[in-house]
Amino acid sequence: MTDIVSFGPDKPPRRFPVAVAVVGVLALAVAFLFLNRDGGEQPAPVTLTPSSCTGVPARGAPAALTGASPVAIVIDGACAAGTGLERRDTTAAGGPWTVLVRRAGGSLGHDGAVVTYPVSGAASTRQMVVKALGAAHVRVRGDLPAADLRAIADRVRLSGGRPVVSPPPGLSVVASGTYRPASIHEVRYGSADLGEREALGGGLTFTGVAAAGGYEDHLYATGDLTSVFGGNAAIAWEPKPGLIAFIGYSGSERTEAADQALRRLAARARAINGDGWRAMTPVVAPQSNDIP
Residue 183's Cβ-side half-sphere holds a number of Cα atoms within 13 Å equal to 13
Question: 18 and 4 in contact (C-beta within 8 Å)?
Answer: yes
Per-residue pLDDT for 28 more than 50?
Answer: no
Residue 249 · residue 265 · CB < 8 Å: no
* Mean pLDDT to the nearest integer, 40-60: 40
Return the minimum-mean-pLDDT range out of 86-100, 152-166, 222-236: 222-236
Q: Of all residues in the chain, what percent are helix, strand and coil, respectively (each to 5)? A: 25, 40, 35
Could you report the per-residue pLDDT of 104-149, keeping only the tens digit for each?
999 999 999 999 999 999 999 999 999 999 999 999 999 999 999 9
CA-to-CA distance for 19 and 78, rounded, in angstroms?
A: 24
DSSP-assigned letter for residue 111: E
Taking only the tens place, the pLDDT of each residue in 5-26 is 877 765 555 553 332 222 222 2
Q: What is the pLDDT of residue 226?
A: 80
**Mean of the per-residue pLDDT values of the chain:** 84
- Asked if pLDDT for residue 213 goes beyond 80, the answer is yes
pLDDT at 57: 45
Q: What is the pLDDT of residue 31?
A: 32
State the pLDDT at residue 144.
98
**Helix (H) or strand (E) segment spanning residue 159:** strand 156-159
pTM score: 0.82
Q: How many CB atoms lie within 10 A of CB 224?
A: 16
CA–CA distance, 48 with 68 (Å, rounded to integer): 27
Surface-to-core class of residue 123, CB atoms within 10 Å of its CB (0-12 exposed, 13-18 middle, 19+ buried): exposed
